[in-house]
Amino acid sequence: MKKLFCIAVLSLFSMGAFAQLPVNLGLKFGWNSSKISTSNLSTNLSDYSPTNNNGYLIGAFGRLNIKNFFIQPEVYFAVKKGETSVGFSGDLDNPAKITQKVDLKTFDIPMLLGYRVLDLKVLSMQVFTGPVMSINTEGSSVSITNMGGLADDAFAGLKDPSGVNWAYQLGLGFDIALFTIDARYEWGLSNIDTGSIAAIKDISFDQKSNMFTLSVGWRFL
């Protein structure tokens, strides 16, 4: 995982070696609001209720300009959080209310294709889209709060997220002199969690992370 991240960083900044090309490099930071969407719930789950949670990101970006088009690879560290409440009936005398909290700490590598719809001397506006590879770090975790009706050992099989997830972004950005501002929405394509409460019989669900991001950047090249 660390080797893959290092390769991404080196690839991003190696773009600056091509000084003869219209290349930009910059740093960025931002705020995100993520929601965990749940689907394919088993029949013993009900009253699904997701909550938006705030996080942040910090990293770098490169941009290769080709007339009005551009290719923009990025790499950044992101903290994404989500909370979901769901009812569980099962064979219990008293139905349980379960609250699941997801705390993802990831290295994200978007590869974006953009188009400038407005290009003035000190101001430009662009739209962009592309896939994102999201690498979970060891700090990523899922926790469960038992609201009654289940024994504590029911959550013994809970596993923290790991590996690589994929998502897709669509956004709108502005360049003002050397500064950039962009807003984007990210749809999760792969499950960050699938039936994680494995110790409970006949329970299943799929979960993806969807996120809105607002970021500010500074182009030093």
Q: What would the two tokens of residue 110 be?
A: 């978007």
Distance in angstroms (rounded) separating the CA atoms of residues 119 and 111: 22
pLDDT in tens, 192-211: 766 555 455 556 667 788 99
Domain of 31 in residue numbering reads as 2-219
Give the mean model confidence (pLDDT) for residues 55-83.
96
What is the rounded average pLDDT for all residues in the chain?
Answer: 82
Locate tokens 């991404």: which residue?
Answer: 8
Contact 206, 190 (CB under 8 A): no
Q: Which residues is 184 bridged to in the sheet?
A: 171, 213
Q: Report whether pLDDT(169) > 90.
A: yes
Q: In this structure, is the dihedral angle defined by the CA atoms of residues 15, 106, 55 and 173, taken in order, positive or negative?
A: positive
pLDDT in tens, 12-28: 555 444 445 789 999 99
Distance in angstroms (rounded) separating the CA atoms of residues 133 and 178: 27
Q: Give Cα 168 distance to the centre of its chain.
A: 9
CATH number of the CATH domain containing 9? 2.40.160
Q: How many domains does the chain have?
A: 1
List all residues 6 or more positions away from 216 whose beta carbon is below 8 Å from its beta carbon: 28, 29, 30, 179, 180, 181
Q: Report whether pLDDT(5) > 90.
A: no
pTM as predicted: 0.82
pLDDT at residue 11 in the model:
56
Contact 55, 45 (CB under 8 A): no
pLDDT at residue 122 in the model:
92
Q: Report whether pLDDT(99) > 50.
A: yes
Q: What would the two tokens of residue 121 be?
A: 């001397």
Q: For residue 51, what pLDDT band results from cuts at 50, 70 and 90?
A: confident
Q: What percent of the chain has pLDDT over 90?
A: 50
pLDDT in tens, 109-151: 999 999 999 999 899 999 999 999 999 998 888 777 766 666 6
pLDDT in tens, 129-140: 999 999 999 888
